[in-house]
Structure 1
Amino acid sequence: MAQLIGAIEAGGTKFVLALARTDGAVLAEARIATRTPAECFPDIVAFFEQASAYHGAIDAFGVASFGPIDIDPASKHYGTFTTTPKPGWSGARYHDVLGRFGAPIVVDTDVNGAALGEWQQGAGQDCRTLAYTTIGTGIGSGVLHDGRSLAGFSHFESGHIPVPHDLARDPFQGSCPFHGDCLEGLASGPAIERRWGQSLSELADGADRVDLIAGYLAQLATSLVLLHMPDRLIFGGGVIKTPGLIPALRKATESRLAGYVQSPRLDPGLEQYIVPPGLGDGSGLIGAIALGRSALT
């Protein structure tokens, strides 16, 4: 009998749940809104109980989740949310809800999961080192080398890097509850809507505002290049779908790099270097399935 993987892609606005075979074929799938653990966890249990009752026992779980979250398998708090600003999530643990199924559980960040999906099947297939960044409810980056996510004592927190903030041009004080005008506090989806009352793609006179957000994101793109020298930068998430944002990001990043880093990877205009996800919105779920698969090898 084929082994089965329970996969969870947990994002700022929704959870995607799936039961899949090890070859990636999805047998059952559901989406639930991201609320509190007390509301989400029973829905997760109900889905996997129903799916496993129909298709068979689950052999492993892969979880690609928003954070901050403990992703150290050697930690007694592995799979536990830490200082997340989402109400009710600090201290919640995936093992508390999935442990009843008796299967191994692999937990990583949502961006590391998306990076893994893109590395295996999407826009990162020809890369040894790949950086995936999501710009949505939050901002985060995952970096892979030879298919393994990089981290130190915890996962990276690229969304909270400080960025130059010209208050004359952009008087918005920022929306991050921890840092105010860090990158996420200035350029995430909620920050954009709090500043202008609409999403970036809804703004009728949005060209200058697209350039403003692109400038903030270029600070991150430049830092990723200088710190990790990735073979490619993938930018995903809802905000990045704004027409004109990726071209503006390429232009601002190339300008900030200023010709200092020379590599055939850095094509003129960065059209092959800074790209959207090849798998669209499917990167995270494919990565979560891959995380579960890793527990079976």
Structure 2
Amino acid sequence: MSLTPASPLAPPTWVIGDIQGCCSALDQLLEHPAVVADNGARFWFAGDIVNRGPRSLDTVRRIMGMGNKAVTVLGNHDLNLLAVAAGVRKPGKSDTIADILGAPDADEIIEWLRHRPMAHYEQNHLLVHAGVLAPWTLKQTMALAAEVEHALQSRHWRQHLEKMYGNEPDRWRDGLGPNKRLRIVINALTRIRMCDVKGRMDLSYKNAPGSEAPDYLMPWFDVPDRATQNTTIVFGHWSTLGLMIRPDAICLDTGCVWGGKLTALRLSDRKLVQIDCISHQTPGSA
């Protein structure tokens, strides 16, 4: 959990969508005149900083080198890297994390990554990789994120990662056991896209909302009576949704690794900077 009080003197903050190892696009974005002009700016990364793109190692080193200027929440691809490093999951055919695992500073990178937050709240903006469940208040979301962070940062982190995979439970209940509780929190914060009207997650649907979606499904941010509707939630993860800016929800995954754009948004005025990317993968395999 990362919870920082708002300050009227806070430096400009840019939020950057999914990079997925596309370090050239990240370098271009950070060197953009509008970004450079914000001297002392801070940067929030919406997770999935690694995997599928060509330069995962360079990307993670670049962000690590930014020190306290950067806040990075964990995404599902970042967790996948931790699981592979822990030996509880084999690399997938589309994974591009071998350069990290074979790097001389691999242990340092894994240690840094597993100490990243699952959620960050500041300036009335909640940063997560994918989304939140409708019943969760802001306070509860941050507390549940902290539970996962504690598990990942403990000496038993490998054993906790073994319990991470699976699509059940798909609906929140206060009485869930420890393993199911860990899994549903991780799934909500790093994988959620669509839910039914009761807030039950459907983790199989990856396309954009619209005519292809079953009638009973809706985006997680449109579930009725969502407890965080008065907090602006900034997220990535959903490249088929793409750029969306609403008072209560902002999506910044614009499909960089699929040949789209890498997008940054300045919190104070919603100014956008976008960098054209080169396609490295087939859309829909995220």
Q: Do Structure 1 and Structure 2 share a fold, with TM-score over 0.5? A: no
Counting helix residues as a fraction of each chain, which structure ranks higher? 1
Q: TM-score range by the shorter chain?
A: 0.3 to 0.5
Normalization by structure 1: what TM-score? Answer: 0.35
